[in-house]
Amino acid sequence: MTRTTQQSPLDRLPVWLLALLALALGGLLALALMATASGQVGLADSRLTNIVLPLAAAGCLIALSLYSPLAGFLAWIALAPYSQHIALDLRLGAGIPDLSLSRMLGAFLLLLVITRAALGRRKLRPLAWSDLAYALFLFGLVLSVPQTVYGKLEGLQTILDAYIVPFIALFVARQVVRNQRDLRWLTIVLVASGVAFSLLIIREQLTGEVLLYAREAARYSRSFQKVISLMGNAAPIGVTTAMVIPLGLTLLVQSLQADSSAT
């Protein structure tokens, strides 16, 4: 990544496009929350949450990605933790793998980046030795699928969601984050996500109510319970929240330095 004063693609997004996408995504999220809360409206409600909303949300994010792959990537990582809870995943029925937001947008962004490179519009950053080591690790995981007690399809889906999609996200991030301005946008989105996770954690500890997860939390004591809001496990949400603390401190230091320089 180069240290440069070059503008990020997000700095050049026209105001009308940002407003339109914000209204569209806001409306979709509002519909998703209302449909999820109403629950028992019937077949129309089921079609809304299972088909219409996921396709509409994916369409908005794909359109945003075509205009700016960086913007599409940031929207993806910001919405991915909530997609299964607010009707953004396309559920295809029993026996058919679901098309989650992460699967759809991850695959689209990967193809978009590779296509732009093939057309000469973008130069791909080379893979590192760690990437090759990770590929060997994935190969070993795939070989272990026949031994799983949960079934081959379930095993493959677990590997896809837990290992392959995050690797795709890392690869796409390397290609779309090109300068310091892009990195700042990425940092802001990650810190905002960490703040949202922190609010969920604090609320669950204070009230005992689990949000965005349909299971009761296990209590360690009368005043302390295991946090399962959103992700169903305290480990991933705790690690994710802890990882953004250095990023938040970095933004704070940069802001203070900018203020002192201005004065």
Residue-wise pLDDT for 101-151, tens only, equals 999 999 999 999 999 999 888 888 888 898 899 999 999 999 988 888 878
Residue-wise pLDDT for 24-83, tens only, equals 666 666 666 665 555 544 444 566 667 777 887 888 888 889 888 999 999 999 999 988
Instruction: Provide the pLDDT for residue 152.
Output: 85
Of 53, 118, 122, 132, the C-alpha closest to 85 is 53
Mean pLDDT of the chain: 81
% of the chain at pLDDT higher than 70: 75
Tell me the one-letter amino acid at 131: D
Q: Where are the domains of the chain?
A: 179-263
Residue 179, pLDDT > 70, answer yes
Instruction: Provide the pLDDT for residue 77.
Output: 94
Instruction: Provide the pLDDT for residue 221.
Output: 65
Mean pLDDT of 8-25: 63
Residue-wise pLDDT for 189-204, tens only, equals 999 999 999 998 888 8
Whether 193 and 231 have beta carbons less than 8 Å apart is answered as no
Residue 219, pLDDT > 50, answer yes
DSSP annotation of 6 reads: P
Instruction: Provide the pLDDT for residue 107.
Output: 94
Instruction: Provide the pLDDT for residue 10.
Output: 58
CA dihedral 12, 186, 196, 85 (to 10 degrees): 80
Tokens 């949450």 locate to 49
Of 125, 86, 250, the C-alpha closest to 183 is 250
